[in-house]
Amino acid sequence: MGGRLSNGTEVELGGQWIGESQDVAKSLIAELGLELFDTYDSGDSALYVDGELQRFNTEGVWGLPPESAAEINRLFTLIEELAQTVSIDAAWDTPDAAALDRQTFDAWVRQNTDDALARRYVAMMIPAVFSAESPELSLLHFLFYVKSGTSWTVLISTTGGAQEQRVRGGTHLISERMAEDLGDRVRLNSVVRTIRQDDTGVTVEHETGSVTAQHAIVAVPQTLAGRMRYVPALPVGRDALTQQMPAGSVIKFQVGYDTPFWREDGLNGQVQSLDHAFNVVFDNSPEDASCGVIVGFIEGDFARRAEQLDADGRRDLVLTALVDYFGPKAAEPFDIIEQDWNAEEFTRGCYGGRLAAGAWTAYGHALAAPVGRIHWAGAETATVWNGYMDGAISSGQRAAEEILAYNV
């Protein structure tokens, strides 16, 4: 979904980065005649902790005391090793799946380090990636997601990672260009309530009519897929999965300034904070730097609390953080756009669905398995780059292949 700051600058309200190794997304982007450019990544990153901004200019967590930084690096190394044991095609078949799925990621962290700063750092990073807190994820889900996105380092990196590039003109152009090709076959504002199927095909009933077809591909989050009625009713395992794959909690902000003034201070605009609710931000200025834009997020528990405030209260959270990160100039943006994904009736959370302890081994097998002529797609059903635009695209291709094979 695209938005526009008051000066006309286009900014994404949803997914906006294209990462290293996201070849499926890159291929579609090229096919649609769109172009990529690099996320701004020159200068120092920073970590805000206990009232101070700690700058650092290479990978690592240098803003912390060396013993905590070493502890975090040790945890990340353990994660990378453990993640590589997961079967991303069938996480429930991973060696030792039951033991990995039984634990929350939080329990694993607590078991593996006593360092208070390391725990705080991880507690900040998990919502940054999952929009959920670490007790809400099973260790198996966490590891699956890490391997699905190549590695933890890739997931959290800009250059060389998931936040490496952006689409000229905005990622909404991807869906808009695809929709142009499809013409009036795309029906907007049609709330689907029931999908019927029999041996000959499907009927998709929406609030103002219906569509018949040979097959249906349901490409909404699993938690929303469960809200439609299916006739005949879905198998037990598939229904149960939709009952327990909730979306994360996130409010996204785009903050516009006259210039990307932090660049003059040698900052790349990437700040993480252990002290703030608005705790992960990036430079999201237009490629020509015609103005400055900071994009950032309030996630997990912080999002749940921020939703209790009014818009002014949330604006204060955002600007207080930005002044701490970038100085007093940050107090005067020319515009702030706020997008609460949890409040969108037909999204109800981001970045994607997660599975709590026990759920992958109990119901993971139903995540992408077709039910007759009904097929499941969307980023949550992907094996590679699950939760990302790349996974969304490949899942659609996989569903199309299922249908082609069905008809043979």
Q: Return the closest-CA partner of residue 243 out of 362, 98, 388, 370.
A: 362
Q: Does 345 bind a copy of itself (CB under 8 A)?
A: yes
Binding mask 38-77 for a copy of itself (x = CB under 8 A): ----------------------------------------
Give the range of 8-16, 28-36, 289-297, 351-359 binding a copy of itself by CB under 8 A.
351-359
Among residues 275, 301, 335, 338, which is the contact residue for a copy of itself, using CB under 8 A? 301
- Nearest distance, CB of residue 384 and a copy of itself, angstroms: 25
Nearer residue to a copy of itself within complex by CB, 101 or 390:
101
Radius of gyration of the chain (CA): 21
**Residue 303 neighbours by CB under 8 Å, 6+ apart:** 131, 249, 250, 251, 340, 342
With CB under 8 A as the contact rule, the residue among 237, 327, 370, 372 that binds a copy of itself is 237
Residues 153-182 that bind a copy of itself (CB under 8 A): none
- Name, in order, each residue with C-beta under 8 angstroms of 195's C-beta and a sequence gap of 6 or more: 202, 203, 204, 205, 216, 218, 228, 229, 230, 231, 374
Residues in the chain: 408
Query: Binders of a copy of itself among 200-229, rule CB under 8 A?
Result: 223, 226-227, 229
Is position 338 an interface residue for a copy of itself (rule: CB under 8 A)?
no
Judged by CB under 8 A, the residue of 49, 83, 267, 357 near a copy of itself is 357
Tell whether residue 135 is a contact of a copy of itself (CB under 8 A). yes
Instruction: Please tell me the distance from the alpha carbon of residue 161 to that of residue 249, in angstroms, as a whole number.
Output: 23
Q: How much of the chain is helix, strand and coil, in % rounded to 5?
A: 40, 20, 35
Nearer to a copy of itself, 226 or 286 (CB): 226
The four Cα atoms 216, 221, 222, 225 give a dihedral, to 10 degrees, of: -50
Q: What phi and psi values does residue 280 have, to the nearest 5 degrees?
A: -140, 115
Interface mask toward a copy of itself for 88-107; x: CB under 8 A: -------------xxxx-xx
How big is the site for a copy of itself, counted in residues (CB under 8 A)? 42
- Work out which of 21, 158, 249, 273 binds a copy of itself, going by CB under 8 A: 249
Contact assessment for residue 150 and residue 21, using Cβ atoms and an 8 Å cutoff: yes
Task: Give the whole-angstrom CA distance, residue 198 versus residue 27.
Answer: 36
Return the half-sphere exposure (C-beta side, CA atoms, 13 A cut-off) of residue 198.
3
Site for a copy of itself in 184-203 (CB under 8 A): 191, 193
Q: Does 133 help bind a copy of itself (rule: CB under 8 A)? A: yes
Give dist(CA 394, CA 304) in Å, integer.
32
Nearest residue (CB) to a copy of itself, 239 versus 338: 239
Binding site for a copy of itself (CB under 8 A): 101-104, 106-107, 133, 135-136, 138, 191, 193, 223, 226-227, 229, 233, 236-237, 239-240, 243-247, 249, 301, 304, 307, 340, 342-343, 345, 348-349, 356-359, 362-363
